[in-house]
Amino acid sequence: MPGNDLRLLALDGGGVRGLSALMILEQLMEAVDPDAPPKPCDYFDMIGGTSTG
């Protein structure tokens, strides 16, 4: 159904893998709007994962 898409963010892996995923996410959010990057919760409907604290 158009318009009813679910945006899911999965962050899996702890330590360096978890940190690198967060750094990439930060860069992606800045690419969406460089002047006022959105928070991940403003863009994704569900956020989950394991071992990321």
Residue 31: C-alpha distances to residues 10, 15, 46 (Å): 19, 25, 20
Q: Is residue 13 part of a domain?
A: yes
| Predicted local distance difference test score (pLDDT) of residue 40 | 92
| Predicted local distance difference test score (pLDDT) of residue 4 | 82
Contact 43, 7 (CB under 8 A): yes
Q: Is residue 45 part of a domain?
A: yes
Looking at the structure of the chain, the number of domains it has is 1
- At 9-23, the pLDDT tens digits run 998 877 888 889 999
Q: Is residue 2 part of a domain?
A: no
Contact 22, 11 (CB under 8 A): yes
Give the HSE-up count for residue 39: Cα atoms under 13 Å, Cβ half-sphere: 5
What domain range includes position 35? 8-50
